[in-house]
Structure 1
Amino acid sequence: MASISALVASSAKLQHFADQSSEEYDRQIRDLVTSLHRSLSSNALNFAANDPTLLDVGSASLWNRPENFDPATDAITYLFLLRLQIQTLQETSQEKLPADLLPSRVLWTKCVHYLKKFNPIQVRYVGHEWRQLIELVAQAAQAASKPFLATQLIKDAMLRLDPSCAVFTSTHLLLVRLCLHAKAYTCILPVLNKHICHFPGISERFPPKGAPVLCADHESSLAFITNNSGLSAPLGSRDLSRYFLYGGMVYLALKKWSEASHFLELVMAIPTTGPVSMIMVEAYKKWVLVGLLETGKLRPPPSMIAPNVYKVYQSIARPYINLANTFELRDLNRLNAEIDAARNVWSADNNSGLVAQVLDSFTVHSLVGIKSVFAALTVTELSEQTSSLPRDTDLAESVIASLIMSGSVSATLVHTPGHSEGTMLRFPSAHPSSQLHELQVQGRLARESNTLEALAASVKKSNNDIGLGDEFIDHMHKSKAWNSSGTDYSVAEDETRFDVDEDIMGDQI
């Protein structure tokens, strides 16, 4: 492959994949990748190292030239040439991030074009090169102090490669950190809202005959995102902890308390054979604060956390426990004193902002507590019931009105005739209309159903991978029946599955 015409001819073979079988398409892709690697190592592609016109995307007329490549159909060739030009520029300038790689420059524009248009099937065969490009784009955006330019780009590239995002990769962690740095919180929600079910699987060097090839349709992305695919850097449990912690922080920034609690609980509950990590402790501290923001009280520990681990959290995060206990007393003066006493702790933990929000939510939760007792009462009476409202009736009414308008409190202010009894605060009925309640239940059931379907598919895939599929169980059952000389085994299947589960638990212990 020593000329541009040969390069074009080799890449063009992949453009007619619709007329080929998966096995034939797989063979052609692997041949192209091998040929390109060989050409790079022998410097046979040096003629393209400094030819910017090969990857030009700005002029429509250039795309009519036969030697131009389109990422949508020539994803592999385009990526190899782009990386060659980047490496050549790095060697020439002796800089890891040359000026042409920064946003709005020549090579940046080509990287953007590629990540928007690449063929996701072909990229499965060049995962290492694809991931390197993703990481380079992130570094370039951060070097220019414009990380937000890379967030949308990387998020779309992830979803293009794997719409399910069910396999955890290093790009998940890269993106959430980038979004936090850029304060682009809503950008990552399409990824955060996906259920992570797997780590990159172990791929076989020589797959068994008849196994689906990479370019085939797969039920799970675990089939092509493996530890040898290059689509993810090596990962450990600490990386997963960081992802859920950062994801929880994104939800905190968006005031999505329930989602934030869920992510933080996942960090707190990650199994450990040694002492709890500081990441887990940090998650617990934020979890306590989120509980106060969401419910106004210290919630009971999640059932998936071992009691001894929870005691460790409580002993390390004692100021947060004290804050929660004081908050539940509904005494504003004592709460302010508690916050002031541990101000250095909140600052050192970077939780000062959350603690300030906890203080701001005190009035809301005080009103919620009163709502459970009274259906209506005057503002004057309300000021006497809670220490968080000013004694001045007009000021108290102004505070309540602002909370109602912001949606923090569901209530209505009613001015009585002649103002003889003062302004009345009425709380709505605790029971919504039957029609509204039914619609809410239907919507929740639909969401839960979709979640269960996704999890069930992932569990089935995991069971098959570790030899617990239906075929394996049936085989074990038949083998046991055959060796038992016709004995009746009406409950043998359950017994077999119980034995297998016992073995799994033994391995985990």
Structure 2
Amino acid sequence: MDYVWATLATGLTAADAISSKKLDSAFKDHARAIKQLLATHRQVIAANLGEILSKLEPAENAIAFLAFLQVSVDPRHPPAGIERVALLDETLRFLLNFEPHQIRYVGLSFRKLLETIATGQVFSPLVSVEALATAMLRLDPSGSMFTSTHLLLVKLAYEFSCIEPALKVLDRDITFYPEMAGQKDAKLLCDASIAPASYISVDTGLTDPVKSTSVLEYNFLSGLCYMTRKDWSKAHRALERVITHPSRDKGVSKIMDDAYKRWVLVGLLKDGREPNLPHYTTFSAKNTYNTLGLPYKSVANLFSTANAAQLNGEVEGNRITWEEDNTTALITEVVAAYQKWQIINLRDIYKEISISQLRRITLSAETGEALTNDTEVTKLVREMIESNLLRGELLRGNDGNDLYLKFHDESEYMTEANFAHDIAQRHHNIQSLGQQFKAANDRMSGSKEYVRHAVREQKRAEKDGNDPLPAFESQIEDEDLMTGVQAHG
């Protein structure tokens, strides 16, 4: 054990280093020393694992701590030198407190540990998701780099309905993918200034190679996670990333088709009207979506009309389609939202309207008719206000009998504290976007594919002059700039 403690004492922390070069050398030397220590003293370490881990701080010596955790490849079956509960506790302590710069030098071992946790069999699913999400953001606080672990996280979160702890990762804007062009950085791995894309790579072992299908599945499952929370705005954005995902043949895969059908319905729940495909969606993809998603487009077209009976008929007539597509629950949400959006849209006409009048001029898509009494309408409006779907309040009329709905302006409803929080959040978003834009711009500026594209575009612009209708297919092929992410189709 004396030799073990002596080797551990040679570790160097970022606070001790004079320069990045010395720190880089120290981390590499320490990783080699720990590897050699395990090769020669594995049995001693296994027999005393509990004592060793209890005296190590993952925030100071993450390399050694991780290596010793690997003595028990599966924490469910610990060596004799530590109880299972104690090993699980130490594993959690490591995941929540490890020194992130050191982990860049032992990426493969770290990823393997995360993959073991992602099985959901070491800890409970809830603890597993929380530990994974925390560890991923400790490694990459920006959350801007996609890794093979992202898909494992969202699968676990969705399968076991542990969405809440995964949101801190799912909410991040991803701008980089493994093995994209221009991500090499001459700076050392321990340098705090390098972008996540420079140290999270297949070479460092912190991610496996990812395919286009993995990115599609991650965004699709993220959309489903948001849908379970009825966060329609975030669900819509996630699904939109799926339906506009580039493919070499500009075709539409099954997961893209599934996403489109849900994207249409979620758009109705989010805005009360049929969503428009983004302008950068390819012409062939638009045609495919319009053909395969015809029943959904029919529902969307009727949603913003007063034809409640026709909408009800369309929904009932396509029950088999909804069941086959597994969208029945979402269709039910849309039907329930029909009258709600009729009420919301009245804010553009009225400042105040009686409940009795609301009952006469709005219809339920569940029956195709008006609600049977004012009590049902009052209950519906009150639920809408309490859920923040409707900005307004219920007031008694002058006679004390009739109830009225008074619509609130957004500016009138927002408190000073909420306004300040909103401004602060927007400022943070702009700063974050600026940093990501700079990193993306630096990456593309060093990409031969991007330079060739820029030259082609400049020549095309000079040739076209002031032509307001450039060729549709002149857009850049995204795959050229996502080298390493294998396209589907």
TM-score by length of 1: 0.79
Q: Say whether residues 1:378 and 2:359 are aligned partners.
A: no
Larger Rg: 1
Cα deviation, residue 463, structure 1: 3.0
Q: 2:272 maps to which residue?
A: 296
CA distance in 2, matches of 1:78, 1:452: 35
Q: For residue 263 of structure 2, what is the aligned residue in structure 1?
A: 287
Q: 1:409-424 alignment to 2 at 5 Å?
A: 409-418=390-399, 422-424=402-404
Checking the alignment, whether the CA contact within 8 Å between 1:55 and 1:82 is kept in structure 2 is no
Instruction: Check conservation: 2:302, 2:310, Cα contact below 8 A.
Output: yes
2:201 — aligned with what? Answer: 226
- Identity among equivalent positions (%) equals 25
CA distance in 1, matches of 2:18, 2:294: 65
- CA distance 1:440–1:230, shift in 2 (3 Å): closer
1:9-158 to 2 correspondence within 5 Å? 9-15=6-12, 17=14, 18-38=16-36, 40=38, 44-57=41-54, 63=55, 69-86=56-73, 98=77, 105-139=85-119, 141-142=120-121, 146-158=124-136
Partner of residue 239, structure 2: 264
Residue 134 of structure 1 aligns to which amino acid in structure 2?
L
Contact 1:200/1:222 (<8 A) preserved: yes
- 1:183 equivalent among 161, 174, 177: 161
Deviation by residue 1:212-248 (Cα, 9 ceiling, x = unmatched) = 2211222311221122111011111111111111222
Distance 1:444 1:120 in 2: 26
Q: CA–CA distance in 1 between the matches of 2:146 and 2:299?
A: 36
Q: Please tell me whether the aligned partners of residues 154 and 222 of structure 2 are also in contact (alpha carbons under 8 angstroms).
A: yes
For 1:467 and 1:299, the matched residues in 2 are separated by 37
Change (3 A) 1:225 1:499: farther
Partner of 1:486: none
Q: Which runs of 5+ in 1 are unaligned?
A: 58-62, 64-68, 90-96, 474-493
Q: Quick one: distance in 1 between partners of 2:415 and 2:449?
A: 44
TM-score w.r.t. length of structure 2: 0.82
Residues in 1 aligned to 2:281 and 2:390: alpha-carbon distance in whole angstroms: 33
Q: How far apart are the structure 2 equivalents of 1:460 and 1:241?
A: 24
Question: Structure 2: any 5+ residue segments left out of the alignment?
Answer: 365-369, 463-473, 482-489
For the Cα contact (< 8 Å) 1:179–1:185, is it kept in 2?
yes
SS of 2:12's equivalent in the other structure is: helix
Distance 1:423 1:433 in 2: 20
- C-alpha deviation, 1:297, in angstroms: 1.6
Residue in structure 1 matched with residue 140 of structure 2 by the alignment: 162
Q: Name the CA distance, whole Å, in 2 between partners of 1:325 and 1:400.
A: 25
Q: Is the CA contact (8 Å cut-off) linking 1:50 and 1:85 kept in structure 2? A: no
CA contact (8 A) 2:11 2:61 kept: yes
Provide the C-alpha distance between the structure 2 equivalents of 1:55 and 1:281, rounded to a whole number of angstroms.
Answer: 53
Is the contact between residue 78 and residue 84 of structure 2 (CA under 8 Å) also seen in structure 1? no
- What's the counterpart of residue 171 of structure 1? 149
**Secondary structure, aligned partner of 1:45:** helix
Bigger relative CO (Cα 8 Å, ≥ 6 apart): 2
Q: Secondary structure at the match of 2:353?
A: strand
Contact 2:147 2:208 in 1 (8 A): yes
How far the C-alpha of 1:430 sits from its partner, in A, is 7.5
Contact persistence 2:62–2:98 (CA under 8 A): yes
Letter in 1 for 2:218: Y
1:113 offset after TM fit, Å? 2.0
Describe the superposition over 1:304-360 as per-residue Cα deviations: whole angstroms up to 9, x where unpaired.
Answer: 211220111121122211221232223333333322222233233332222221122
Q: 2 CA distance for matches of 1:261 and 1:456? A: 23
For residue 434 of structure 2, the aligned residue among 429, 435, 453 is 453
TM-superposed CA distance for 1:292, in Å, is 0.8
Q: Does 1:238 align with 2:213?
A: yes
1:368 to 334, 337, 344: 344
* Deviation of 1:272 (Å): 0.6
* Secondary structure in structure 2 of the residue aligned to 1:135: helix
Which residue of 324, 333, 337 maps to 2:313? 337
Residue 433 of structure 1: how far off its partner (Å): 8.7
Root mean square deviation of aligned Cα: 3.7
Code of the residue aligned with 1:177 in structure 2: it is K
- Are the structure 2 counterparts of residues 449 and 501 from structure 1 closer, same or farther at C-alpha, using a change threshold of 3 Å? farther
Name the counterpart of 2:297: 321
CA distance in 1, matches of 2:180, 2:455: 30
Does the 8 Å CA contact 2:4/2:37 hold for their aligned counterparts? no
Q: Say whether residues 1:403 and 2:384 are aligned partners.
A: yes
